[in-house]
Amino acid sequence: MPNTRNPNAVRLEFAPGSLIQNNLSGAAFTGDWLWVAGDEACGLDRLRRLDAVGREALRFGEARDFPLADLLDLPGAADEEADLEGMAVADGYLWVVGSHGLKRKNAKPDRDHADNAKRLAKVALDSNRRLLACLPIEPDAQGEPCLVHQAQDGRRALRLKGDSQANLLTRALADDPHFGPYMAIPGKDNGFDIEGLAVDGRRLLLGLRGPVLRGWSALLEIEVEARDDQLRLVPLDDSGTLLRKHFLQLDGLGVRDLHFSGDDLYILAGPTMVLNGDIRVFKWPLARPTMKANREPVRFETALTESVSLPHGRGTNRAEAICDLPPEIAGGKPRWLVLYDAPGADRRDGEHIVFGDLLHHE
């Protein structure tokens, strides 16, 4: 018999060889089906809702992998990690975003000092990290939602125009006074690092884990449209603004995920550096209408409320993904699903099963 957890536990059963289960970083629902992403893979997993085990709240399994290379013309190699960090379902599409950031090699205990010094000086870019894309969701012959390159109604999988080094977003940020200087700094060093995505029609919110500037975290607001088999940035207003910046006071924490619930925006926040520290959920009340009415290119938002603090371990159990449960699963009560990167022994059952949490919210 499997080990059972508490009534708030959500069991996720992955296939052998999955690259996602140990680095969960994004989650979104299509009815009874759960989409999950990891930051060390170049694909997505779809899990079906199954009968719960024991007193546990929910169980998802029968995982199916959807490689991004089957859906998109990627900027990098098919097996190069995309570092997917944000997901959202909207208008029949699954939206995904990579970190867009550089990476730095780490020191290893089995290397000598000189070799580790060289490793720590090496900075690189995985091209697929600079990915922002929408993927059509379409039921197959069995009625199961699948990701497709092109749907029967004409919807196509599209990514933001770019190549292996840059895309329209990074080019727009290159000379930005706040973020331009950080584009050449690896994400784990408080450099540029996207880790949250929320979608409102054609407008997208990108949450930054870094940089955090004098304690201010940031959201980037952009608008996209399909043009010539690609996504393009379009102006947010008549003055031609391509990018708006929303600075948030999150007590020095960076954004780890974003989620709209009605008109409110929930922000999962945690350390921007490689630290063991607070992980909290903040609420921006009426964020959606506030942003629609806003015409300022830069806005500072202090009217946030802290909803809940989440558990974390030392190097384990880092909350990375948060999303609302669909009404048909939530049973009429507002609930979040929270998933964790680097799950510890307390969040595992064997080699291929990990546990998330079900949380109540107002």
* Residue 3: both structure tokens together: 């080990």
Distance in angstroms (rounded) separating the CA atoms of residues 240 and 259: 27
Query: Do 58 and 5 meet the contact criterion of CB atoms below 8 Å apart?
Result: no
pLDDT exceeds 60 at position 2: no
The pLDDT of residue 316 is 81
Q: Which element (helix H / strand E) includes 299?
A: strand 298-301
Query: Do 30 and 137 meet the contact criterion of CB atoms below 8 Å apart?
Result: yes
pLDDT exceeds 90 at position 257: yes
CA angle 338, 23, 83 (to 5 degrees): 110
Q: Which element (helix H / strand E) includes 119?
A: helix 113-121
Inter-CA distances, 78 with 22, 68, 75, Å: 20, 8, 9
Mean pLDDT of the chain: 92
Query: 58-67 and 9-13 as β-strands: parallel, antiparallel, unpaired?
Result: parallel
The pLDDT of residue 13 is 96
pLDDT band at residue 113 using 50, 70 and 90 as cut-offs: very high
In tens, the pLDDT along 3-48 reads 556 778 999 999 988 888 888 999 999 999 999 998 888 999 999 9
Distance in angstroms (rounded) separating the CA atoms of residues 233 and 240: 11
Please report, as a single letter, which amino acid is at residue 226. A
Query: For the whole model, what pTM was predicted?
Result: 0.95
Query: Do 284 and 264 meet the contact criterion of CB atoms below 8 Å apart?
Result: yes
The pLDDT of residue 4 is 59
pLDDT band at residue 245 using 50, 70 and 90 as cut-offs: very high
Q: Reply yes or no: is the peptide bond before residue 7 cis, omega within 30 of 0.
A: no
* Residue 183: both structure tokens together: 């584009």
Distance in angstroms (rounded) separating the CA atoms of residues 318 and 258: 15
The pLDDT of residue 362 is 65
pLDDT band at residue 1 using 50, 70 and 90 as cut-offs: very low
pLDDT band at residue 350 using 50, 70 and 90 as cut-offs: confident
Query: Do 156 and 72 meet the contact criterion of CB atoms below 8 Å apart?
Result: no
In tens, the pLDDT along 141-192 reads 999 999 999 999 999 999 999 999 999 999 999 999 999 999 999 999 999 9
pLDDT band at residue 331 using 50, 70 and 90 as cut-offs: confident
The pLDDT of residue 212 is 97
Query: Do 28 and 45 meet the contact criterion of CB atoms below 8 Å apart?
Result: no
Distance in angstroms (rounded) separating the CA atoms of residues 284 and 269: 13
Phi/psi region, residue 197 (left: phi>0; alpha: psi -120 to 50; beta: rest), is: beta
The pLDDT of residue 307 is 73
The pLDDT of residue 353 is 94
* Residue 158: both structure tokens together: 């599209």
pLDDT band at residue 332 using 50, 70 and 90 as cut-offs: confident
Q: Residue 19: name the closest of 70, 80, 60 by CA.
A: 80
Task: Give the long-range contacts of residues 48-52, CB within 8 A, separation 24 or more.
Answer: 48/144, 49/329, 50/13, 52/11
For residue 346, give the 3-state DSSP assignment.
Answer: helix
Q: Which residues contact 61 (CB under 8 A, 6 or more apart)?
A: 11, 12, 13, 14, 47, 48, 50
In tens, the pLDDT along 271-320 reads 988 777 789 999 999 999 999 999 999 999 988 998 788 877 787 888 89
Query: Do 313 and 261 meet the contact criterion of CB atoms below 8 Å apart?
Result: no
In tens, the pLDDT along 60-90 reads 999 999 999 999 999 999 989 999 999 999 9
pLDDT exceeds 90 at position 58: yes
Distance in angstroms (rounded) separating the CA atoms of residues 242 and 234: 6
Q: Residue 210: name the closest of 79, 101, 74 by CA.
A: 101
